[in-house]
Structure 1
Amino acid sequence: MNNYPSGKIRNVVLLGHSGSGKTTLAETMLYESGMMRKRGSVENRNTVSDFRDIEKEKEKSVFGSLMHLDWRGTKVNLFDTPGTPDFWGQISDSLHVADSAMVLLNSEAGVEVGTEAYWKAAEEKNMPTMLVVNKLDSEYSNFQKTVDMAKERFGRGVAVVQYPYSEGEDFHAIIDVLKMTMYEFPEDGGKPDKLPIPDSQRAQAELLHNELVEAVAENDETLLDLYFENGELDEYQMRDGLKLSMDNRDIFPLFCTCAQRNMGSGRVMGFICNVTPDPLQRELSLADGGTHRISPEKPPSMFVFRTSSEAHVGDLTFFKATGGEIVHGSEMINQRTGDSIRIGSLYMDQGEKRMEVNSVSAGDIAVAVKLKDVNSGDTLAEKGTELEFAPVEYPDTTIRVALKVTNEGEEDKLANALHQIEKEDPSVKVEQSQELQQTILHGLGEEHLGVIHHQLKERFKLDVEFVTPKIPYRETITKKVDAHYKHKKQSGGAGQYAEVYLSIEPWYEGMPERSDLNVRGVQEIDLEWGGKLVFQNCIVGGVIDNRFLPAILKGVMEKMANGPMSGCRARDIRVSVYDGSMHSVDSNEAAFKTAGLMAFKEGFLNASPQLLEPTYEIEVTLPADYMGDVLSDLSSRRGQIQGMDSEGSIQKIKAQVPLQELDHYTTRLKSMTQGSATYTRAFHSYTQVPHDVQKRVMEETLETADA
């Protein structure tokens, strides 16, 4: 395969809501470029990108796929991404290394919730973006409505470059207002005839052409002067103007395709090669906050954005060459570990197939095999090069389940499998919770967890059950009490003696000091499970030696880690040791630890204990039609609405909801909104649980203890 110079490389990520046709368009582009002799289809389960068994079964993309094509001497690397938010992690890494984005709009549905989310992700990356309206042959196609929605949602920078001569079953031609040409396609698609624009469309085409020229000119003073002088810009001036406007995200050119019937992809590929930026024009973020511009003149370096493993190949490392030339056999340093890495075989990916190459140019995307201890996010660079790229940012998880192996003795096998899955998909989080005594899997949705379950079963041969995870409740108190405990034990020989008086009260930020006690020392302890313990030494007269105070604190901490009320961890409490007694022979640290623990336990239970539950702040994005149902459902989940906002036909709801009520919320949300809504969540705080919930948890605790 040819080794392309950096200026002849384009890295493009395909984005769009599920069903917009990304995989079909990618397949058509590969076919039209001559990279394959026959087009596959999603329905026939033989596309280049959706090659995994589960993708064939679901008939949609589940993993991100890398492909490439040659269009008239320019190499285009295509990232086909899933259209479902459950697999957002597969989108994050593609966005991180792409240089431009192509957002597909389904002309039947316009701008969908998923589309908006992907658009914002590209916007955050400041990525040049073009739009493609697909499925124009559908009987429900509405091109103008789709354009209007795009302008409403994405701004006045949306610029129509093409529009359909007709749509629906009669769709067969596209009018291009940049080239002022009509492309008429044969019945089975393919190469179109270039025809003059019909008289019936001339006025509309000229109107859109002038709007496009003015949009380009107003973003460049030189072009604006030429436009005022000549009243027009030629094709090359327009090309240069579009390049600049796209780089600055001032213009988002909009094209037309019918990917299913192979109409329009050639013009899109031509625009990608002529206008969208090459890798040398884009900057990458560094871990220290700086930026790095790719150049073939710089020392060799590479950024690893994805890893995977195949049974007969081993570890696969997907990378972007970020400097110099990556050559088979060269030595590089992993900036994370400091280890020397020898670059083995190099490949260009084409779905599940690969073509071996000897070197990779700066800016190109490739795959290396069998690189030891190399993870997603690693930077490999020539020895002596100080360079480390910012890692890929993955979304917060939205769902969790606990794992239970069916066959005893397979716990280690499960741990190894989860480690591999987490390595390949960093949007997955595996938590070994000592507190809950469960292995908890965090993901981005029910489908995401379903794919992981499929991998555990089919790939790792594990029979694993997904069960409801426990809730990490917390305990606290609501009033001040005094507590006393005398520990006295005599069983022959040296005995144990300790007496402790404690004052126990709720702690809150900024609370005043105790004026009724002689506070001689204060320890503020940030608890590893959240909240604080404030421990005060208020001993006078030496009734307890200072050397025993750490033992009292240790006893209090031990009981806080296993709360007196339900066994859940306690937080936000101030404990003051103000009196006690000791024995010259029988007092020791063990005795005072026991006395401190028992006094704290007794006082805690008398201080009106309160159970707390984790509450999350969520943001639901949904079409306006479903607002009532979603609000009603949130109310039934003890949700507290914090605000609502609207952006065109897209609505946003912010609410605070207990974690317990969010189990399987993604499934319910999809059911209520026909899959059109998404939501994000982040931990907010611990809040008091209702009386009935506290009563139930207490009863369950007693049942567990009795068992």
Structure 2
Amino acid sequence: MKNYPTSKIRNVALMGHTGSGKTTLAETMIFESGSSHKRGSIENKSTLSDYHEIEKEKEKSVYGSILHLDWRGTKINLLDTPGTPDYWGQVSDSLHVADSAMIVLSSEYGVEVGTEAFWKAAEKRNLPTMLIANKLDSELSDFQKTVDMAKERFGRGVAVVQFPYSEGDDFHAIVDVLKMTMYEFPEAGGRPDKLPIPESLKAQAELLHNELVETIAENDESLLDLYFENGELDEYQMRDGLKLGMLNRDIFPMFCTVAEKNMGSGRIMGFIGNVTPDPTERELPTKSGKSHKVNPEGEPALFVFRSTSESHVGDLTYFKVMDGSVQHGMDLENKRTGDSLRLGALFSAQGEKRTEVSQLDAGDIGVTVKLKNTTSGDTLTGKENDLEFDPIEYPEPTIRVAIKLLNEGDEDKLSNALHQIEKEDPSLRVEHSQELQQTILHGLGEEHLNVILHELQNRFQLKVEFITPRIPYRETITRKAEAHYKHKKQSGGAGQFAEVNLSIEPWYEGIPDRDDLNVRNVQEIDLEWGGKLVYQNCIVGGVIDNRFLPAILKGIMEKMESGPMSGCRARDIRVSVYDGSMHSVDSNEAAFKTAALMAFKEGFLNASPQLLEPLYEIEVTLPSDYMGDVLSDLSSRRGQILGMDSEGSIQKIKAIVPLQELDKYTTRLKSMTQGSATYRRRFHDYGPVPNDIQKRVIEETLSSEA
């Protein structure tokens, strides 16, 4: 395989809502370019990208794939990404190494909820973005509606470069208003004939051409001057203006395709090669805060964006060359670990197929094998080079499950399997909760977690099942109470004696000082499980020696970690130790720890204890047709609606919902909206639970202790 200089490399993230046809478009582009002699199909399970068994079974992308093609001397690396929200972790790493984005829209439905998410992801990475209206041969196709929706959602920078001669069964030609040419396709698709624009469409073509010229000129002063001077821009001036507009995210050109029939892909590849930026033309953020541009002449540097493993090969590391050139056997340093690494064989990836290469230049994407302790987000470069790129940001989880091992003795095997899966899929978060005594997986949706279950059962041969995880409740109090406990024990030899009097009350930000007690010192403790403990020493007259005060605090903390009411951790409490007594011989730290623990427990239970539950702020994005059903469902889940926003036909609902009510919510949301809605969540705070839930949790605790 030949080596490509940086100026002849394009890295394009290919994104689209499930069913938009992006994988089919990738397959068509590779075939049309001559980089593959056969065009695979999803139905025949023969695509280059969706090659995993689970992808063939589901007939959709589950994992991101790296593909490449040669279009007239330019290497186009396509980063094909999943369209289902459950697998969007694979979108994050692809966008991190892409230099432009191509979002495929189904002209049947226009801008869908998934499209919205892809747009925001590209926007966050400041990626030049082009839009593809696909499936124009569908009887439901509505190109103008798709354009209108895109402009409504993404702004007036959406610029029509092509429009269909006709739609539905009669689709056979595309009018290009940049080149002012009509492309007419053979019935079976493939290379089109270039024809003059028919008289019946000339007025529409000229109108759109002028709109495109004006959009380009508005974003470049030199081109604006030329436009005013000549009343027109030539094709090459328009190309330059489009490139600048795309780099600044001021212009988002829209093209037409019927990917399934191989109509329109050649023009898109030509545009990518001629207009979209090469890797040197974008500024990239680094950990130091300075921006960085890919430098073909610089010291070799790689950014690792994906790790996988294959049974017959071992660990595979996918990377982008950020500076210089890399060859087999080169020594580099992992900036995260400080380890020195030697690069093994280098490959160019075409889905599951890999072709060995001798060298990869700056901007190119490749894969190598058996790099120890290297994972997604790592920067590899020379020892003296302090360059380190920003890590990849993955989506926040939306669902959680607990793992139940069915075979005793497989704990280590499970731990190793989860470590490997988490390394390959950083959007999965594994939590070993000592508090809940469970291993909890946090994922992006039920489909995502089902893939993890499939991996555990089939790849790692583990007998496991997923169960509902426990809720990490908290305990607190709602009023002040006094407590006293005398610990006295005599069993031959030295005895134990300690007496503690304390006051317990709810703590809150800005709580006034106690003027009824002689507060000698205060400790504010930020609890690792959230909230505070404020511990006040109010002892006067030396009735308790200072050396026993840490033991008293230790007893209080021990009981807070397994709360007096339900065994859940306690928070937001102020304890004032104001009296007590000790014995010159029998008092010791153990005695005072016990006395404090029991006094705290007594006071807590007399202070109107309250169980708290974790609350999450959620944002649901959905088509307007389903607003009523989703709002009604949120109310049934004890949700507090914070607000609603509208962006065209896309609606957003913000609400506060208890974690307990969010189990399986992604599944319910898909069911209510026919898979068209998405949601994200983040921890908000703890809040009081209803009395019936508090009673149930306490009863369950008592029954488990019995």
Query: TM-score, normalization: structure 2?
Result: 1.00
Q: Which residue of 1 aligns with 2:273?
A: 273
> 1:123 aligns to what?
123
Once residues 125 and 529 of structure 2 are traced to their aligned partners in structure 1, the CA distance between those partners, rounded to angstroms, is: 34
Question: Structure 1, residues 144-185: CA drift from partner, whole Å, max 9, x if none?
Answer: 111110010110001100010011011111011111111111
| Per-residue deviation, residues 122-141 of structure 1 (Å, max 9, x unmatched) | 11111100000000011111
Deviations 1:165-213 (A, max 9, x none): 0110111110111111111111110000111111111111111111111
Q: 2: distance between equivalents of 1:361 and 1:644?
A: 48
Give the Å deviation of 1:624: 0.7
3-state DSSP of counterpart to 1:4? coil
Shift of 1:220: 1.2
Aligned-residue offset at 1:382: 1.4
Task: Return the alpha-carbon distance in structure 1 between the equivalents of residues 242 and 642 of structure 2.
Answer: 42
Tell me the amino acid that sits aligned with residue 111 of structure 1. Answer: V
> What's the counterpart of residue 355 of structure 1?
355
Q: Which residue of 2 aligns with 1:365?
A: 365
Rounded Cα–Cα distance in structure 2 between residues aligned with 1:685 and 1:213 = 52
Corresponding residue of 2:338: 338
Give per-residue Cα distances to partners, 1:33-74, cap 9 Å, x unaligned: 111111110111110000000000000000000000000000
Q: State the Cα deviation string for residues 429-463 of structure 1 (Å, max 9, x = none).
A: 00000000000000000110011111111111112
Q: Mapping of 1:255-294 within 5 angstroms?
A: 255-294=255-294
Other-structure match for 2:528 = 528
- Supply the distance in 1 between the matched residues of 2:226 and 2:186 (Cα, whole angstroms): 39
Structure 1: 4+ residue segments shifted above 3 A: none
Shift of residue 689, structure 1, vs aligned partner: 0.3
Q: 1:288: how far off?
A: 2.1
Give 2:544's aligned residue: 544
Matched to 2:261, the amino acid is R
- CA shift at 1:411, angstroms? 1.2
Q: Distance in 2 between matches of 1:219 and 1:589?
A: 75
**Residues 451-493 of structure 1, C-alpha deviations (whole Å, 9 max, x = no match):** 1111111111112110000000000011101100000000000
Q: Tell me which residue corresponds to 2:173.
A: 173
Q: Displacement of 1:285 after TM fit?
A: 1.0
Q: Which residue of 1 aligns with 2:240?
A: 240
Q: Which moved more, 1:102-111 or 1:209-218?
A: 209-218
Give the counterpart letter for 1:179 in structure 2.
K
Partners in 1 of 2:28 and 2:406 — Cα distance? 45
Is the aligned partner of 1:72 residue 2:72?
A: yes
Within 2, Cα distance between the matches of 1:680 and 1:287?
Answer: 27
Q: How big is the shift at 1:536?
A: 0.5
Equivalent AA in structure 2 for residue 2 of structure 1 = K
Q: Provide the residue aligned with 1:438 in structure 2.
A: 438
Alignment of 1:57-136 (within 5 A): 57-136=57-136
Equivalent residue letter for 2:565: M
Distance 2:220 2:165 in 1: 31
Task: Please state how far the C-alpha of 1:222 moved relative to its aligned partner.
Answer: 1.3
Give the residue type in structure 2 aligned to 1:672. Answer: M
Aligned counterparts of 1:242 and 1:477: Cα–Cα separation in 2: 63
Tell me the residue number matched to 2:571: 571
Letter in structure 2 aligned against 1:468: T
User: 1:696 maps to what in 2?
Assistant: 696
SS of the aligned residue for 2:186 comes to: coil
CA apart distance, 1:374: 0.6
Residue by residue over 1:90-141, the C-alpha shift from the partner in whole angstroms, topping out at 9 and shown as x without a partner, is: 0000001100000100000000000011001111111100000000011111
1:193 is matched with: 193
CA offset digits 1:617-649 (Å, max 9, x no partner):
000011111111000000000000011111111
Report Cα offsets for 1:229-263 as digits up to 9, x if no partner.
22211111111111111111111110000000000
The 5 A counterparts of 1:441-480 are: 441-480=441-480
Deviations 1:1-33 (A, max 9, x none): 111000000000011100000100000000001
For the residue of structure 1 that corresponds to 2:212, the secondary structure is: helix
Stretches of structure 2 lacking an aligned partner (at least 5 in a row):
none
| Partner deviation per Cα, 1:530-581 (whole Å, 9 max, x = no partner) | 0000000000000000000000100000000000000000000001110000
Displacement of 1:81 in angstroms is: 0.4
Residue by residue over 1:306-334, the C-alpha shift from the partner in whole angstroms, topping out at 9 and shown as x without a partner, is 10111111111111101111111111011
Q: Which amino acid aligns with 1:384?
A: E
Distance in 2, Cα, partners of 1:574 & 1:221: 65
Equivalent AA in structure 2 for residue 34 of structure 1: G
Aligned residue number for residue 4 of structure 1: 4
The 1-side partners of 2:504 and 2:77 are apart by: 65
Output the CA distance in 2 between the equivalents of 1:693 and 1:171. 60
> What's 2:23 paired with?
23
AA partner of residue 235 (structure 1): E
Provide the C-alpha distance between the structure 2 equivalents of 1:504 and 1:629, rounded to a whole number of angstroms. Answer: 46
Equivalent residue for 1:145? 145
Alpha-carbon distance, 1:221 to partner: 1.4
Cα distance between partner residues in 2 of 1:60 and 1:256: 22
Instruction: Give distance in 2, aligned partners of 1:212 and 1:399.
Output: 44
Aligned equivalents of 1:69, 1:607: Cα separation in 2: 71
Alignment of structure 1 residues 361-400 onto 2, 5 Å: 361-400=361-400
Report the secondary structure of 2:39's partner residue: coil
Deviation at 1:664, TM superposition (A): 0.3
What is the rounded CA distance, in whole Å, between the counterparts of 1:25 and 1:322 in structure 2? 28
Map of 2:503 onto structure 1: 503
Q: Which residue of 2 aligns with 1:53?
A: 53
Give, as a single letter, the amino acid of the residue that structure 1 aligns with 2:204. Answer: Q
Provide the secondary structure at the position in 2 that maps to 1:295.
coil
**3-state DSSP class of the match of 2:676?**
coil
Which residue identity is paired with 1:52?
H
Query: In structure 2, how many angstroms separate the alpha carbons of the residues matched to 1:640 and 1:289?
Result: 39
User: Could you give the per-residue CA deviations for residues 366-406 of structure 1, whole angstroms, max 9, x where no partner exists?
Assistant: 00111111111111001211111100001110000000011
Question: Residue 250 of structure 1 aligns with which residue?
Answer: 250
- Quote the residue 1:487 is aligned against: 487
Q: Distance in 2 between matches of 1:457 and 1:19?
A: 29
CA-to-aligned-CA distance 1:320-354 (integer Å, 9 cap, x gap):
10111111111101111111100110000000000
Match of 1:420 in 2: 420
Distance in 1 separating the partners of 2:242 and 2:509: 56
Q: Distance in 2 between matches of 1:527 and 1:440?
A: 22
- What is the aligned-residue identity percentage? 77
Distance (Å, rounded) in 2 between the aligned partners of 1:673 and 1:243? 38
Shift of 1:412: 1.0
Q: Which amino acid is 1:65 matched to?
A: S
Distance 2:354 2:126 in 1: 31
- Letter paired with 2:294: I
Give 1:304-315 correspondences, 5 Å limit.
304-315=304-315
Answering whether residue 650 of structure 2 is matched by residue 650 of structure 1, we say yes
Match of 1:620 in 2: 620
The residue type paired with residue 412 of structure 1 is D
| 1:182 alignment counterpart | 182
* Structure 2 Cα separation of the partners of residues 491 and 120 of structure 1: 71
Q: Which amino acid is 2:570 matched to? A: A
Matches within 5 A, 1:578-657: 578-657=578-657
**2:680 equivalent in structure 1:** 680
**Distance (whole Å) between structure 2 residues aligned to residue 126 and residue 371 of structure 1:** 30
Matches of 1:354 and 1:381, distance apart in 2: 24
